[in-house]
Amino acid sequence: MSKTIILSNRLPLQINITKEKLQVTPSVGGLATGLKSFHREGDSIWIGWSGLTEEEIPVNLKAEIKVRAREDACITVSFTAEEMDGFYYGFSNRSIWPLFHYFTEYTEWESWQWEMYKKVNQKYADSVIEHYEEGDKIWVHDYQLLLVPNMIREQRPNATIGFFNHIPFPSYEVFRTMPWREEILNGMLGADLIGFHTYDYERHFLSSVRRILRRPVEFNEVTLANRVVKVDSFPMGIDYEKFEQTALKHHEISEDQETELQQRLNFHRKKSPDSQLILSIDRLDYTKGIANRIRAFEYFLEKYPEYIGKVRLVMLAVPSRSDVPQYQLLKKEIDELVGRINGKFATVSWIPIWYFFRSMPFENLIDLYTSCNIALLTPIRDGMNLVAKEYIATRTNQTGVLILSEMAGASHEMNEALIINPNNFEQIADAILQAIKMPKEEQIRRNTLLQKRLKRYNVVRWATDFMKALDKTKENQPSFKAIHISQEIQEKILTSFKNAKNRILFLDYDGTLVGFEDKPNLAKPDEQLLDLIKKVSKIKNTKVVLISGRDKETLGTWWKALPVELIAEHGVWVRKTGKEWQLNEKVHNNWMKNVRPVVETFCDRTPGTFLEEKNYSLAWHYRKADPELGEIRANELSNVLKELISNHGLSVLEGNKVLEIKSSGVNKGKAAGKVLLKKDYDFIFAIGDDWTDEFLFQELPENAITVKVGVKKTAASYYVEDTNKVRDLLLQFSRVH
Ligand code: ADQ
């Protein structure tokens, strides 16, 4: 039976060795906590790092670790300390993490760390391959493994691969600063489905793909040479029931069963019943805005001194990544801040901040969530922030106020919280005041709505939705009617080529025989291509027709010496083999004087675009423009032109990064039809890459072999990936005879 392979940097369990004995504890952190429930309920295995380096594992415990992990359907991957240093503490946490959270001043670019990142990603990918069976689904998680999807794809081209990014994806302007940006994007695009927490992250990613890789992006789909990758947002939920049920039980336990922490909390509550506890929980990370939060709390006490002695900040910070210098500095900064503020405001019976720097067992988290009537979460950037959701889930009597940063992904779904800007102390101080004074009915009203939403979209629903969408990506792929020319199909085509008596080949030029250049005149045929076409056109009873939107002068010059027929400007001109150019259609160009100035204004307003004038058509090229602006302006120009030229027998052709205005009656299909009338061909072949070639595919008789270059919607029967494949196919033709 097929299974799901979950892959993340860390396993949901952390293995430690004390006195030669294994100790297994659950891992802390959003990903592990969230995904654990999905893993438990489904048929899946989880591959990841155990938390111990190879050096730390005594030989006699190696097997035991594997067995222990297997009990929880986990598979360990092991790394040396050096690998972890470069991959995890290095590139993951000194390059990607700060960059993706907009802390560009903290980013380091060390090529040895990048090399280690690649190496370790490859190890993870290899481990997946080792456990992969046909039909399995692979779900890769987070920023440490950005290269893995494509590494798996290279070894298992048909695998179903999903990728989810748990942290923000930064705007293009920030992402572009990364030295290995192409590699990172291509790595992620190895997946069939890429998920983010919010639409903004999705938008930023697509924008980077479009601008950096210059890949076509339509809505939320990226078209690659032979696949389409879907990108979507799936806001991660929590195991709502677990938090709700534990909180309900927590309220029922007798005093003597309470934890020590709960007893202390109760003691303080009894001593001053009007006092308020403000909770703050995070990993100790500079993105979480912990220092800002403390300063804002200080500002609150200064602005509203009547609350001195009545409000307390309960701050829990989990140690994290302590091998990275910024985290050590942050620890120092927080220690000092807490010390300074406690020193400044403390009275004999009250201190303003209770600070815990440690990981806490689950029941203590519940003690805190249920005992604090305000939660203050002020990240500067946060992919989602699950603590906000956990806090709301534990408020079983619906009281309590959540103050949440607008920079957390969770703020998009939690509008009923008090949403603040983490850099605006004034606003935070006022939000604390508002929270303290908020009537119970209002708290209940807000939390009821929040709880309803969080309960419905819990972590299992999140994971199920992602997996369903992943299945759909495979269903959607064959919606391209065209079939890929495999080795087997190629053989069949070659056989009918060989057996035919009269052959004709219609070949588009740009994007088919040659790749695109920034300027059209740079895409001249190279020697290898000229040689190849010469060979094919010399085969007996074989006619080669180059059919293009290009002007007759350029085509004529480039293909002067070859025995091929040329069709220029989409069919306006024909040059039979060895003859002069002839007008093929009755067209006029007196409309150009009215249309040219309109196109010119678009050239002026859109840097990188230019106008190409042909004899009977005008083409506006926007390949070199900023991709997003180019698309917007192309759409705008197309609409303007359609209005301008209506009833003039003209049409606007939308080609590959070009808009062309020409006579309506002229197209490649019509031109090819005329050529076919002259002779009875028993092998008709046509190949092209863009929209203008669709006329050709549609017009040709049913038995014609029509081939699209690239994966796009098409009327052609077959497709090949790129121009290299086209040349390869032509080479095979030339070798048949
Ligand atoms: P994190 O940055 O780890 O996750 P978060 O989403 O808040 O942040 O999750 C923290 C988790 O750790 C929570 O489940 C919480 O209960 C637990 N936790 C916190 N303090 C603890 C303590 N002292 N002891 C024990 N457990 C503690 C990353 C991204 C987030 C994203 C998640 C999930 O940075 O933005 O929400 O992944 O995608």
pLDDT tens track for 366-424: 999 999 999 999 999 999 999 999 999 999 999 999 999 999 999 999 999 999 999 99
What is the distance between the alpha carbons of residues 387 and 185, in angstroms, rounded to a whole number?
Answer: 30
Dihedral angle over CA of 339, 342, 344, 345, nearest 10: 170
Superfamily of domain 4-233: Glycogen Phosphorylase B; (3.40.50.2000)
SS3 at position 588: coil
Q: Tell me, in angstroms, the distance from the centre of ligand 1 to residue 511's CA.
A: 48
Average pLDDT, integer, range 260-280: 90
Closest CA to 6 of 449, 459, 385, 436: 459
What's the confidence (pLDDT) of residue 645?
84
Give the count of alpha carbons within 13 A of 357, CB side only: 14
How far away, in angstroms, is 625 Cα from ligand 1 center? 42
- Average pLDDT estimate for 658-680: 91
Residue 480: is its pLDDT beyond 60? Answer: no
pLDDT of residue 691: 84
Which of 6-20, 214-228, 376-390, 414-428 shows the lowest per-residue confidence on average (mean pLDDT)? 214-228
272-293 mean pLDDT: 94
Total residues found in the chain within this entry = 737
Residues 6 or more apart whose CB falls under 8 angstroms from that of 289 comprise 378, 379, 380, 405, 407, 422
Class of the 592-662 domain? alpha beta
pLDDT of 587 reads 86
> For a pLDDT cut of 90, what percent of the chain falls above it?
75
DSSP conformation class of 525: P
What is the best residue among 27, 280, 281 to mutate for testing ligand 1's pocket, by most ligand atoms within 8 Å of CB? Answer: 281
Mutate to test the pocket of ligand 1, among 37, 233, 283, 357 (most ligand atoms within 8 A of CB): 283
Q: Can you give the pLDDT at residue 372?
A: 97
For the chain, the distance separating the N- and C-terminal CA atoms, rounded to the nearest angstrom, is: 49
Reduce the DSSP state of residue 388 to 3 states and report it. helix
Q: Which residues are catalytic?
A: 508
Can you read off the two tokens belonging to residue 356? 């815990």
Burial status of residue 213 (CB atoms within 10 A of its CB: 0-12, 13-18, 19 or more): middle
What kind of fold does domain 240-456 have according to CATH?
Rossmann fold (3.40.50)
Q: Given the CA of residue 383, which atom of ligand 1 is nearest to it?
A: 35
Q: What is the CA radius of gyration of the chain?
A: 32
Locate the ligand 1 atom nearest the alpha carbon of residue 166 and give its number.
38
The residue with tokens 């020193």 is 343
pLDDT at 478: 43
Over the chain, what is the mean pLDDT? 92
Q: Which atom of ligand 1 is nearest to the CA of 236?
A: 38
Distances in Å between the alpha carbon of 627 and those of 97, 182, 211, 654?
27, 16, 6, 15
For ligand 1, the distance from its centroid to the CA atom of residue 384, given in whole angstroms, is: 9
C-alpha pair distances (Å), 175 with each of 147, 194, 211, 663: 16, 17, 11, 44
The DSSP symbol for 60 reads G
Q: Is the pLDDT of residue 284 over 90?
A: yes
> Do the domains 592-662 and 4-233 match in fold?
no
Residue ranges of the domains in the chain? 4-233, 240-456, 483-585+665-734, 592-662
| Residue of 16, 28, 125, 26 whose CA lies nearest to 65 | 16
**Ligand 1 centroid from CA 282, angstroms:** 6
Ligand 1 cavity residues, CB under 6 Å: 28-31, 33-34, 166-167, 236, 281, 283, 316, 318, 359-360, 365, 382-387, 390
Q: How confident is residue 29, by pLDDT bands cut at 50, 70 and 90?
A: low
Contact between residue 339 and residue 331 where contact means Cβ atoms under 8 Å apart: no
Q: Tell me yes or no: is domain 483-585+665-734 CATH 3.40.50.1000.
A: yes
389 near 238, Cβ under 8 Å?
Answer: yes
Distance 165 CA to ligand 1 centre (A): 14
Structure tokens, 579: 């003859």
Buried b (16+ CB within 10 A) or exposed e, 346-363: eeeebbbbbbeeebbeee
What are the residues facing 631 on neighbouring strands?
none
- The DSSP symbol for 240 reads H
Q: Give the closest residue (by CA) to ligand 1 atom 1.
A: 30
Average pLDDT estimate for 203-232: 88
pLDDT-based confidence at 632, cuts 50/70/90? confident
How confident is the model at residue 40, as a pLDDT?
A: 79
Tokens of 539: 């085969």
* 25, two tokens: 């504890």
Determine which residue's CA is closest to atom 4 belonging to ligand 1: 30
Q: Which residues of 716-725 are buried (b: 16+ CB within 10 A; e: fewer)?
A: bbbbbbbbeb
**Residue nearest ligand 1's atom 28 by CA:** 30
